Structure 1
Amino acid sequence: MLNAKGRRCDVCARSPLLFFIFILSDVLARFKVIVMNYFGYQVELYKHIRKKQIFLIKIMFLHSKIALQNTHLRLLQ
């Protein structure tokens, strides 16, 4: 979202909607930690949840990419 100089990254600077989505997801991750801590779950940092979300997105992207490759190979047979 922000680079080392404190400015918005290139992608977010080009797309205000994307910047808003990044900010909203960050706020929701922090809120989730607050709620989980309130109900007794031990959550150290919101970054753990954020990293998990990013990891799951990468897995879903990789899975869809592999599925597309398999479909393409089946069509060639």
Structure 2
Amino acid sequence: MPIPSLPIVQALARRVRGHQNRAARQMGVGEGVGVVVSVRAVPGGWAYHRAQRGRFGYLVPCGDVEAAAEQVDLLLKHRMFPPTW
């Protein structure tokens, strides 16, 4: 029986729509997207993965936090602004 990976980071991004009132913008109400990152064993060590995709969600090897953050940033940007991709 495979051992499920546990999520270690949940990254969220919000985009506030222009037609909302000022109070709603201050509270952070708007459209949001997110990604959950987990650590899974890979040949030769450990790696960050998108939890929703399991072993198919490979991002980068553990130890390279900056590269992982860049990958998560690109995923969130793609979800928030799909027409620009």
Identify whether the pair has TM-score above 0.5, normalized to the shorter chain.
Answer: no
| More RCO (CA 8 Å, sep 6+) | 2
Q: TM-score, normalised by structure 2?
A: 0.29
Q: TM-score, normalised by structure 1?
A: 0.31
Query: Could you say which structure has the higher helix fraction?
Result: 1
The structure whose Rg is larger is: 1
Query: Could you say which structure has the higher strand fraction?
Result: 2
